[in-house]
Amino acid sequence: MTDRIARARGLVEQALQEVEAELAAPRCGLCPAQLDTCRDTLRGYVALLQSGDLPPRKDRSERLCRLVIDGWPFDTPLAGTVLAAERAFRTA
């Protein structure tokens, strides 16, 4: 496993834990459906990183980036974590 993949996996797992914590005990006032989408997408990223069967970088989506930018308040701490995880996944 390369350093990029290991780093991405750590960031994605951290973001997944924080999203699941927000779903279990809401404190940021985020839409549960959007959090479900985040959780499912992050789980998919973890699976791809674990398997090592990553799609080419140009084919990795920015779905979470768009969801966070368009739908979440700018000062939500979870936003930075999710964006960093997706960025790390895209460059792994």
CATH of the domain at 38: 1.20.1270
- In the chain, the number of structural domains is 1
| pLDDT band at 1; cut points 50, 70, 90 | low
Q: Are 12 and 88 in contact (CB under 8 A)?
A: yes
Other CB atoms closer than 10 Å to residue 35's CB: what's the count? 20
Position 2 scores a pLDDT of: 86
* Burial class of residue 82 (count of CB atoms within 10 Å of its CB; 0-12, 13-18, 19+): buried
* Burial class of residue 18 (count of CB atoms within 10 Å of its CB; 0-12, 13-18, 19+): middle
- What range does the domain containing 21 cover? 3-91
Other CB atoms closer than 10 Å to residue 27's CB: what's the count? 10
Q: What is the pLDDT of residues 20-54, one digit of tens each?
A: 999 999 999 999 999 999 999 999 999 999 998 89
Q: What is the pLDDT of residues 54-70, one digit of tens each?
A: 999 998 988 899 999 99
pTM exceeds 0.85: yes
